[in-house]
């Protein structure tokens, strides 16, 4: 249970495994249109870490640049969305919360890109709200 305990994660088929050490920088739910398309879900939960905290322990994720400076990785076999990196936040990497072996570890504290939210997707009134990226 220590702060340095390793966290496991990975994709649906098991080809890609992630190993994470260190504590998250943030935990959010993103409503942006790119995350929706990339995941096939109405919103996507992300946990952010320092880049060095996240290692690909098995497999070879496919890279996709969804916007300038944005790198998304996903399993080339089963399609699970895994990580997100943005050149405007160097030194950080976000991991899809639902790719963690225990997605309950880091509950989200805010919702971002609510300006893109689908009208039928509920908002959690107990979280912080941002119309865009929360900066």
Site pattern 19..38 for Zn ion (x: CB under 5 A): -----------x-x--x---
Structure tokens that stand for 30 in this block:
């993103």
Residue 73's Cβ-side half-sphere holds a number of Cα atoms within 13 Å equal to: 20
Q: Which of 5, 6, 8, 13 binds Zn ion (CB under 5 A)?
A: 13
Which of 15, 98 has the CB closer to Zn ion?
Answer: 15
C-beta of residue 46 within 8 angstroms of C-beta of residue 30: yes
93 part of the interface to Zn ion, by CB under 5 A: no
Among residues 66, 60, 71, 4, the alpha carbon closest in space to that of 34 is found at 66
Count each helix (H run) and each strand (E run) in the chain, helices first.
1, 11
Site string for Zn ion, 35-74 (x = CB under 5 A): x---------------------------------------
Binding site for Zn ion (CB under 5 A): 11, 13, 15, 30, 32, 35, 75, 77-78
């Amino acid at each position: 249970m220590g702060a340095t305990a390793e966290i496991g994660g990975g994709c649906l088929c098991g080809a890609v495994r992630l190993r994470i050490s260190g504590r998250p920088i943030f935990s959010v739910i993103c409503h942006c249109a790119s995350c929706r398309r990339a995941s096939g879900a109405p919103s996507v939960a992300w946990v952010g870490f320092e880049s060095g905290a996240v290692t690909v322990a098995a497999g070879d994720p496919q890279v996709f640049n969804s916007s300038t400076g944005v790198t998304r990785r996903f399993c080339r076999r089963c399609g699970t969305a895994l990580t997100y990196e943005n050149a405007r936040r160097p030194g950080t990497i976000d991991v899809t919360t639902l790719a963690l072996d225990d997605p309950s570890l880091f509950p989200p504290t805010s919702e971002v890109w609510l300006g893109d939210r689908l009208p039928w997707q509920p908002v959690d009134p107990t979280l912080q709200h941002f119309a865009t990226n929360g900066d």
